[in-house]
């Protein structure tokens, strides 16, 4: 790890927002600061220092990091989200405000729909700075709270520790469970003590799932086959409301829901479909013109850093902060309608 007082020597091929905005002046101004949980600048930037191919390169160790190290986080947040230090995030989780009839009622294109939010618990460090004891206690408190859910949200918690490799790999293959943290999360300190304190809660149908202590302390997920986006969003908002009766989430009037990676701040929502677009796949220029117009992101079908398979893509909203949850899902829905129209025309 870099010395406390050494300004990182970023090579010319480093193009992360960390490289772009961490000047020597900002480094010197922040290098001796620390948050109440002892999280320091060198901790926040370590992932981007060792992974020079990072897109962003920084993680917060607690809510306070975003304010203690604002001289670095603010320009990164402004660049990525177009969100200024004086802006206020506004949430709207009301499904009645969403205009999203199923874009593919015949099931010709959309294989599945998934909408997730990241959440972290108030008055605790985030994953990069949490202690093993705090993380284990959080796993117990959150899994106990989830096991009290009733009706269609009722389910079971499965700790990662002790899970058979066969079950774990099948859950990942079936798109339900997180992969073991990548090198970016590793360098951020998010994989410490793995697999202890991590696990997954899900209902019998696997349409409602909660990841515990991966990149964020909760990833609350609603998913199902087909394109009934509104039904998926409604289930998610109901679940969030039920969990929030038992758990206080870390929230800021300025930044919305607090997450370890600044890319997820605000709504912390990613609304996606797995969609087959074999004709558009042959014309990526047209494909990307549509996804750009509707503020969409293209991922492979096994999530971040994966590739498309068989002309099937993971299409999701790119905007997270400075827009409401309804707008995130509306972005995805409206973009998917345009993609299907184009695919039909080819």
CA angle in degrees (0–180, nearest 5) for 325-259-248: 80
| 195 binds ligand ADP per the rule CB under 6 A | no
- Long-range contacts: 335-338, Cβ < 8 Å, 24+? 335/290, 335/291, 335/293, 335/294, 335/295, 335/296, 336/103, 336/104, 336/110, 336/227, 336/229, 336/273, 336/275, 337/103, 338/290, 338/293, 338/294
DSSP state, residue 96: G
CB of 211 to ligand ADP, least distance (A): 8
Of the candidates 14, 64, 259, 261, the residue annotated as catalytic is: 261
Residue 159 in 3-state DSSP? strand
Of the candidates 40, 114, 116, 235, the residue annotated as catalytic is: 116
The residue (of 14 and 323) whose beta carbon lies closer to ligand ADP is 323
Each residue 179-208 as x (binds ligand DAR by CB under 6 A) or -, in order, gives: -----x------------------------
DSSP notation for 176-199: -SPPSP-HHHHHTTTTTTTTTT-E
| 119 catalytic per annotation | no
| 49 binds ligand DAR per the rule CB under 6 A | no
| 304 catalytic per annotation | yes
| 168 binds ligand ADP per the rule CB under 6 A | no
The separation between CA 85 and the C-alpha centre of its own chain, rounded to angstroms, equals 21
- Among 1-9, 34-42, 198-206, 272-280, which window interacts with ligand ADP (CB under 6 A)? 272-280
> Is the CB of residue 269 less than 8 Å from the CB of residue 115?
yes
| Residues 15-74 within binding reach of ligand ADP (CB under 6 A) | none
From the list 8, 29, 28, 30, the residue with the least C-alpha distance to 19 is 8
> Is the CB of residue 33 less than 8 Å from the CB of residue 96?
no
> Is the CB of residue 102 less than 8 Å from the CB of residue 233?
no
| 272 binds ligand ADP per the rule CB under 6 A | yes
CA angle in degrees (0–180, nearest 5) for 217-221-225: 155
Interacting residue with ligand DAR among 190, 261, 269, 332 (CB under 6 A): 261
| 113 binds ligand ADP per the rule CB under 6 A | yes
DSSP state, residue 108: S
Give CA torsion, residues 9, 11, 15, 16, to 10 deg.
-30
| 198 catalytic per annotation | no
> Is the CB of residue 263 less than 8 Å from the CB of residue 315?
no
Report the alpha-carbon distance of residue 42 to residue 32 in Å, rounded. 10
The residue (of 74 and 242) whose beta carbon lies closer to ligand DAR is 74
Of these partners, ligand DAR, ligand ADP, none, which one is at the site of residue 272 (CB under 5 to 8 Å by kind)? ligand ADP
CB of 279 to ligand ADP, least distance (A): 20
- Among 50-58, 91-99, 190-198, 293-301, which window interacts with ligand DAR (CB under 6 A)? 50-58
Interacting residue with ligand ADP among 20, 31, 168, 175 (CB under 6 A): 175
- Among 95-103, 159-167, 259-267, 268-276, which window interacts with ligand DAR (CB under 6 A)? 259-267
CB of 118 to ligand ADP, least distance (A): 8
Give the footprint of ligand DAR on this chain (CB under 6 A): 16, 54-57, 184, 215, 261, 263-264, 304
- The catalytic site residues sit at 116, 215, 219, 261, 263, 270, 299, 304
Residues that bind ligand ADP (CB under 6 A): 112-114, 116, 175, 219, 223, 270, 272-274, 299, 301-304, 314
């Amino acid at each position: 790890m870099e010395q406390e007082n050494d300004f990182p020597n970023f090579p010319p091929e480093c193009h992360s927002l960390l490289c772009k905005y961490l000047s020597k002046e900002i480094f010197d101004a922040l290098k001796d600061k620390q948050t109440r949980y002892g999280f320091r600048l060198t901790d926040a930037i370590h992932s981007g220092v060792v992974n020079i191919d990072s897109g962003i390169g920084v993680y917060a160790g607690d809510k306070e990091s975003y304010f203690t190290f604002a001289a670095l986080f603010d320009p990164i947040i402004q660049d990525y989200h177009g969100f200024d230090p004086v802006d206020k995030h506004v949430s709207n989780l009301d499904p009645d405000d969403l205009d999203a009839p199923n874009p593919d009622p015949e099931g010709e294109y959309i294989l599945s729909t998934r909408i997730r939010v990241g959440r972290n618990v108030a008055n605790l460090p985030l994953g990069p700075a949490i202690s093993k004891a705090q993380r284990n206690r959080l796993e117990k408190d959150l899994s106990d709270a989830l096991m009290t859910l009733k009706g269609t949200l009722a389910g079971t918690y499965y700790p990662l520790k002790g899970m058979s490799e066969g079950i774990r790999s099948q859950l990942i293959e079936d798109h339900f469970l997180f992969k073991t943290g990548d090198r970016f999360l590793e360098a951020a300190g998010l994989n410490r003590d793995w697999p202890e304190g991590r696990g997954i809660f899900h209902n019998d149908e696997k349409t409602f799932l909660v990841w515990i202590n991966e990149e964020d302390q909760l990833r609350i997920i609603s998913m199902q086959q087909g394109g009934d986006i509104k039904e998926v969003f409604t289930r998610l908002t109901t679940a969030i409301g039920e969990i929030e009766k038992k758990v206080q989430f870390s929230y800021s009037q300025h930044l919305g829901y607090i997450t370890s990676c600044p890319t997820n701040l605000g709504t912390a929502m990613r609304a996606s479909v797995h969609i087959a677009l074999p004709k558009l796949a042959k014309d990526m220029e047209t494909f990307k013109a549509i996804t750009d117009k509707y503020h969409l992101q293209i991922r492979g079908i096994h999530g971040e850093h994966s590739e498309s398979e068989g002309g099937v893509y993971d299409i999701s909203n790119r905007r997270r902060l400075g827009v409401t949850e309804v707008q995130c899902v509306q972005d995805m829905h409206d973009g998917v309608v345009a993609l299907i129209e184009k695919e039909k025309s080819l």
